[in-house]
């Protein structure tokens, strides 16, 4: 059968060789074994189930939450002569009924479904008497409530499979999954002795960069002007930011289209199709855009706002450089950017343990935005992969000239201030006290009377917050998992306060803005 797999790879899909991990997964499925595959976006997960699906008797069902991906893959399969179909909410009742007839008649080889369909008992009965040889669960991390994109409908898949007369082979796929999420996938989908395949999550063609500009909009405009022929996605946090940034770019003679859920459906489709077909090179969007979008030549992804967690960030930057060519991933961060996602987590209708986990994940995203270590290494370590070298030689941190600065005295003053404030306030109040601020809150709470008041008055509030962030990353301060987090001393703080441990930070030449000359130079447009 493996010989046939290579024939299909070349004849049906036009490739001469498998990518890493593909042949192993295909072989396991053809041998009748359940699989769990963790592969980065753009690494060819779909071939891992399409090729065995074409060789096996009966039908393959693919569960996916992404309507756009369903449509793209079905269109590509049909163009190659494969009888494929998808059922989704965008279809008319007549279109859906026609697909039902084709399923009953055995004329569908690969069927794509949204898992929400399983909530209808009448729909589940549609497959009575139908031979299903392979069931595929794409975005399998959605089954776990501890993941970054939990979807309750995924919990309906295992009972659906249990109810079948003959249980099919089950193949689960995801781009990111920590050890806990992997165990959840195996247990909740009831995978039987699965082959677990995890290819490297590193994307060497992506150049990672973090910048802390005072104004973000000019940074983005300068970058786009420096790469006028490149296609790129700019992610924002809200609909209002989409409209604001799109308007700003147009006012600066840069044509960009917006995309968010509040737009009219026709306008949203037009924006998406225009970007996919290359008529619109720049799209400003909320994170809903890009799920399942198969555009290989996205040359840059810029994050205007901080993502809610590293898993989401990794998924979003994965939409760049899917053709293997160089692409840029730029995260713009300002102190306080985490306030909005923190507010959403605090007011989310969820359990307290899950809320604490989400706060923790958000803090890890902040740590990434602030670290002076290798960005590629930081990302891979979080995702459970050992990056080996501590310097990738290409991210914005590894290409900077760093100097070491002794900040022991400043650290002692910050730690002392937190102590005298009895660990009751966040970084804004701590910085205000050290700065010697005379705001109403400082006066009303009589915080101007504590010993450390005004002891860093020679620094700006932003500079004090930068120092606080260094201590957070070094573990000398911890931040509580609350909607309005407070700073607390860690067990390591005592040594610094007693003078037994020095504190250093890496510093590089600071820029008030963001010069295009300093921007990533990896993008090459033919």
Walk me through the domains of the chain, giving residue ranges and CATH numbers.
2-198 (3.40.50.300), 206-401+514-518 (3.40.50.300), 403-507 (1.10.10.10)
From 47-51, 199-203, 512-516, the region with the lowest mean pLDDT: 512-516
pLDDT at position 290 is: 64
* Longest alpha-carbon distance in the chain: 82
pLDDT number for residue 388: 83
pLDDT at residue 519 in the model: 41
Average pLDDT over residues 448-454: 96
- Asked if residue 293 has pLDDT above 80, the reply is no
- The predicted model gives 164-181 an average pLDDT of 90
Q: Is 475 left (phi over 0), alpha (psi -120 to 50) or beta?
A: left
Q: Which two tokens stand for residue 19?
A: 């990518």
How much is the pLDDT for 31? Answer: 96
pLDDT of residue 291: 56
Residue 252 pLDDT greater than 70, yes or no: yes
Average pLDDT over residues 331-352: 89
Q: What average pLDDT does range 396-405 have in this prediction?
A: 92
Residue 352, Ramachandran bin (φ over 0: left; ψ between -120 and 50: alpha; else beta) = alpha
pLDDT at 41: 78
pLDDT category, 107, cuts 50, 70, 90?
A: very high
Separation between Cα atoms, residue 42 and residue 66, nearest integer Å: 15
Mean pLDDT, the chain, whole residue set: 90
Distance between CA atoms of residues 215 and 410, nearest Å: 27
What's the DSSP call for residue 16? Answer: S
User: By the 8 A CB rule, do 44 and 50 touch?
Assistant: no
Tokens of 149: 């994109």
What are the tokens at 90?
Answer: 């965008």
Q: Which residue has the tokens 């620094």?
A: 459
pLDDT of residue 269: 84
pLDDT at 514: 35
CA-CA distance, 239 to 289, in Å (whole number)?
12
pLDDT at 526 over 50: no
55 pLDDT tier (thresholds 50, 70, 90): very high
- pLDDT (0 to 100) of residue 178: 81
The confidence band for 386, taking pLDDT boundaries of 50, 70 and 90, is: confident
pLDDT band at residue 521 using 50, 70 and 90 as cut-offs = very low
**pLDDT surpasses 60 at 155:** yes
> What was the pLDDT predicted at 512?
35
Distances from the Cα of 82 to the Cα of 54, 85, 459, angstroms: 8, 9, 66
In the chain, % of residues over pLDDT 70: 95
What secondary structure, in 3-state letters, does 333-347 show? CCCCCCHHHHHHHHC
Residue in 361, 385, 354, 383 with CA at minimum distance from that of residue 178 = 383
pTM for this model (two decimals):
0.84
Give residue for tokens 């790469």.
227
Tell me how far apart the alpha carbons of residues 328 and 223 are, in angstroms, rounded to a whole number.
11
Q: Which of 37-46, 356-365, 448-457 has the lowest mean pLDDT?
A: 37-46
Residue 292 confidence (pLDDT):
54
Is the pLDDT higher at 91 or at 306? 306
pLDDT: which is higher, 291 or 119: 119
Q: What would the two tokens of residue 426 be?
A: 């966040």
Instruction: Check whether 520 has a pLDDT greater than 50.
Output: no
> Is the confidence at residue 29, as pLDDT, over 60?
yes
How many angstroms separate the CA atoms of 336 and 463, rounded?
13
| Mean pLDDT in residue range 361-390 | 91
Which pLDDT score is estimated for 121? 66
Average pLDDT score over residue span 98-105: 92
Question: Stretch 192-220: mean pLDDT, rounded?
Answer: 94
* Rounded mean pLDDT, 406-434: 96
Mean pLDDT, residues 363-389: 91
Q: DSSP characters for 186-201?
A: HHHTT-SSPEEEE---
């Amino acid at each position: 059968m493996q010989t046939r797999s290579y024939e299909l790879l070349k004849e049906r899909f036009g490739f001469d060789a498998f990518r890493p991990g593909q042949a192993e997964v295909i072989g396991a499925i053809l041998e009748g074994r359940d699989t769990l595959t963790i592969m980065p976006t753009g690494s060819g997960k779909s071939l891992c189930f399409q090729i065995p699906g074409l060789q096996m008797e009966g039908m393959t069902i693919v569960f996916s939450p992404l309507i756009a991906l369903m449509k793209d893959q079905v269109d590509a399969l049909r163009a190659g002569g494969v009888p494929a179909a998808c059922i989704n909410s965008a279809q008319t009742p007549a279109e859906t009924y026609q697909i039902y007839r084709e399923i009953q008649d055995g004329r569908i080889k690969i069927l794509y479904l949204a898992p929400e369909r399983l909530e209808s008992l009448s729909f589940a009965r549609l497959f009575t008497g139908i031979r299903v040889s392979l069931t595929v669960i794409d975005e399998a991390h959605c089954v776990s409530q501890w993941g970054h994109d939990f979807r309750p409908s995924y919990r309906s898949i295992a009972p659906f499979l249990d109810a079948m007369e003959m249980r099919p082979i089950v193949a689960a796929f995801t781009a990111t999954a920590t050890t806990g999420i992997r165990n959840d996938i195996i247990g909740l989908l009831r995978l039987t002795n699965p082959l677990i395949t995890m290819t490297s999550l590193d994307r060497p063609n992506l150049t990672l960069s973090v910048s802390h500009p005072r104004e973000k909009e000019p940074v983005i405009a300068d970058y786009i002007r420096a790469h006028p022929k490149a296609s790129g996605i700019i992610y924002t946090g809200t609909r209002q930011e989409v409209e604001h940034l799109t308007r700003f770019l147009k006012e600066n003679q840069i044509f960009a289209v917006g995309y968010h859920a509040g737009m009219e459906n026709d306008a949203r489709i037009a924006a998406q199709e225009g970007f996919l077909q290359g008529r619109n090179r720049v799209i400003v969007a909320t994170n809903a855009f890009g799920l399942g979008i198969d555009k290989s030549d996205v040359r840059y992804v810029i994050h205007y706002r901080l993502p809610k967690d590293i898993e989401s960030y990794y998924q979003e930057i994965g939409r760049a450089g899917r053709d293997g060519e160089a692409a840029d991933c730029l995260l713009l961060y300002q102190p306080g950017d985490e306030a909005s996602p923190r507010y959403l987590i605090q007011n989310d209708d969820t359990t307290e343990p899950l809320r604490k986990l989400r706060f923790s994940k958000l803090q890890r995203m902040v740590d990434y935005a602030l670290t002076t270590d290798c960005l590629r290494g930081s990302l891979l370590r979080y995702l459970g992969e050992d990056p080996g070298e501590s310097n990738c030689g290409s991210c914005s941190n590894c290409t900077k000239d760093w100097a070491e600065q002794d900040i022991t005295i400043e650290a002692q003053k910050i730690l002392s201030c937190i102590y005298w404030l009895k660990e009751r306030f966040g970084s804004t109040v701590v910085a205000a006290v050290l700065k010697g601020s005379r705001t109403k809150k400082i006066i009303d709470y009589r915080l101007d009377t504590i010993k450390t008041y005004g002891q860093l008055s020679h620094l700006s509030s932003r500079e004090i917050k930068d120092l606080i962030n260094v201590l957070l990353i070094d573990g000398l301060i911890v931040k509580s998992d609350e909607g309005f987090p407070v700073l607390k001393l860690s067990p390591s703080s005592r040594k610094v306060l007693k003078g037994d441990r020095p504190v250093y930070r890496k510093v590089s030449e600071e820029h008030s803005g963001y010069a295009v000359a300093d921007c990533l130079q990896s993008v090459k447009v033919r």
